[in-house]
Structure formats: structure tokens, C-alpha cells
Amino acid sequence: MRLGQARGASMVAAASKKIPIYEYSARKVKQSITGNGNAHKSQVQFMVKAKLQMDHNPKPIDAADALA
């Protein structure tokens, strides 16, 4: 429920400023960041760390999905 509320609030805020919203499937994001649409979360985490030049892996592991 909270995720839906946060998503809705961010969409309203973007719309009020006429900022376009783009949505991508998890498979498309994984394909873009790792080269494999079926990549495991740890692969996404590794590539996010590398691409964003982070010192440590993003934690929790789901944070890597959000950053990707």
C-alpha cells in the first residue's frame, strides 16, 4: 500500500510540473544494465555499483533495482 501511495504522489508531483513519466519493465532495466534481461539481483547490484562508481554494493539488494 505504501509503495502505491509513494508512486501516486510522485506521479502527481511530476504531472503538476509537466515532467514526463517513463516506465520500464524489470526485464528491460536488467537488459540495459547487465546485458541480460534475466539477470539475478546480485548481477544488477554488481553492475549498478560499477556504473555509478560506488565504493560498496547498494544495500539492501533491492536498492540496486531502484538505482538501475
What is the pLDDT at residue 11? Answer: 94
Cis geometry, peptide bond prior to residue 20 (ω within 30 degrees of 0) = no
pLDDT tens-digit profile of 33-64?
A: 999 999 999 999 999 999 999 999 999 999 99
Q: Which pLDDT band holds residue 3 (cuts at 50, 70, 90)? A: confident
- Residue tagged 520500464 (cell numbers): 24
pTM for the full predicted model: 0.76
The pLDDT tens digits for 21-32 are 999 999 999 999
